[in-house]
Amino acid sequence: MPTLSDRFSDIRPYNDNEIQPAIRRVINSDEFIDAIISFRFSKIAKFTGFLLKPLLRRYFLYKWGAICSIDEMQKVVGEYMEHMIDSTTTQFTYSGLENLEADKNYLFVSNHRDIAMDPAFVNWALFSENFKTVRVAIGDNLLSKPFASDLMRMNKSFIVKRGLTAPREMMKAVLQLSDYIFSSLQTDSSIWIAQREGRAKDGFDKTEPAIIKMFYLNGRKKKIAFNDYIKQLNIVPVAVSYEFDTCDKQKAQELFDKAESGEYKKSEFEDIENIVRGIVGQKGHVHVTFGKTLDDDFEDAEQVAAAIDKQIYQNYYLHPSNFIAAKQNVAEISEADKQAFETRLQNIKPALQERVLKMYANPVKNSIKQ
């Protein structure tokens, strides 16, 4: 009988013995080195790229050459997280963990605003309170480059196969994913997964019932009643809120293009650029709220999705930027906060500003409905 690792070897995070070979592949990847040069040294790359490549490889070999386990990789990531929080946020806060147990596994279903930072901030909050960090679901559309897949799977990410088109292969992949999530929760790890495929471009967080149906496929196969299976998953809604969305301008541009021409063409490295933008961009105050485990009786996926949405809307931490955009409680907001948001808005093309305002206003509108 195949082991857990064997059954999921094509989607699961790497094991300890796979970390060092993956690191070597990343360091030796020309695409990885070229991407670093493009993002960090774009002004001088044309003239010094041939010198930077070997220097960068030596640097990464020095930094990562001795890493041989997941725990060691997590420590390195933790150092980067500390630096990132210090340099790109005014503060990072979290709440709700007092309602959860550190020795229990949970399925954290989160709103989705930033490709890499959403699960990273969830993990940092968990780590800060001595909870185990989670395994992170990431779509294969973000892993078109082999080095990207290696980097993510070294850091406890598992793959959601979205690029399949053949119905039989799609069903096989979804069943495998459902089985993997349940198996992880039943054995050794909590899971983070976004409430929908793709980020909420308009700031309107909405859980896709299809995600819940995917969770249950394994339960249906095992002939477990829907409500009983959902309760075994220990689903916890999570609301991640940013005072400033580092990709607000880019999201607004995508929405604008789709409205004007009916389509939006993504550039080759756009996803990676957005990941980098999310890491290095100024985020202001970031807050993560962990909700309570879903323990109601549910008849179908739509009811579960609605319960997740309700907690996310109620628990979303509303920043001055949200209230200003929604024109709510503006008199109570400081002049400094008003000026900070106005400055941000002025750096965005007039044609996109209305969409950006809606993006920040929607969480307020959703909270009022509850």
What is the band of 1 on the pLDDT scale with cuts at 50, 70, 90? very low
Provide the pLDDT for residue 42: 67
Residue range 54-89, pLDDT digits in tens: 999 999 999 999 999 999 999 999 999 999 999 999
230 and 215 Cβ atoms separated by less than 8 Å: yes
Of the candidates 241, 247, 217, 211, the one whose C-alpha atom is nearest the C-alpha of residue 229 is 217
Evaluate if residue 362 carries a pLDDT over 80. Answer: yes
Provide the pLDDT for residue 265: 86
CA distance 367 to 204: 11
Cα dihedral sign, 165-167-172-173 = positive
CA distance 230 to 216: 7
Buried b (16+ CB within 10 A) or exposed e, 317-328: bbbbbbbbbbeb
What is the band of 9 on the pLDDT scale with cuts at 50, 70, 90? very high
Evaluate if residue 41 carries a pLDDT over 80. Answer: no
* Mean pLDDT, the chain, whole residue set: 93
Of the candidates 167, 168, 174, 207, the one whose C-alpha atom is nearest the C-alpha of residue 159 is 174
How far separated are the first and last CA of the chain, in Å rounded? 49
70 and 16 Cβ atoms separated by less than 8 Å: yes
Provide the pLDDT for residue 49: 58
What is the band of 221 on the pLDDT scale with cuts at 50, 70, 90? very high
Other Cβ atoms closer than 10 A to 351: 11
149 and 143 Cβ atoms separated by less than 8 Å: yes
Q: Are strands 284-290 and 235-242 parallel, antiparallel or unpaired?
A: antiparallel
List the single range of 145-154, 225-234, 268-277 with lowest mean pLDDT: 268-277
CA distance 119 to 125: 10
Of the candidates 176, 106, 110, 159, the one whose C-alpha atom is nearest the C-alpha of residue 134 is 106
203 and 291 Cβ atoms separated by less than 8 Å: no
Dump strand ranges (E) for 187-328.
Answer: 191-194, 235-242, 284-290
Which amino acid type is present at position 289? T
Evaluate if residue 314 carries a pLDDT over 90. Answer: yes
Of the candidates 12, 29, 261, the one whose C-alpha atom is nearest the C-alpha of residue 137 is 12
Provide the pLDDT for residue 48: 67
Residue range 286-302, pLDDT digits in tens: 999 999 999 999 999 99
What is the band of 47 on the pLDDT scale with cuts at 50, 70, 90? low
Residue range 138-193, pLDDT digits in tens: 998 877 788 889 999 999 999 999 888 899 999 999 999 999 999 999 998 999 99
For the entire predicted model, the pTM comes to 0.93
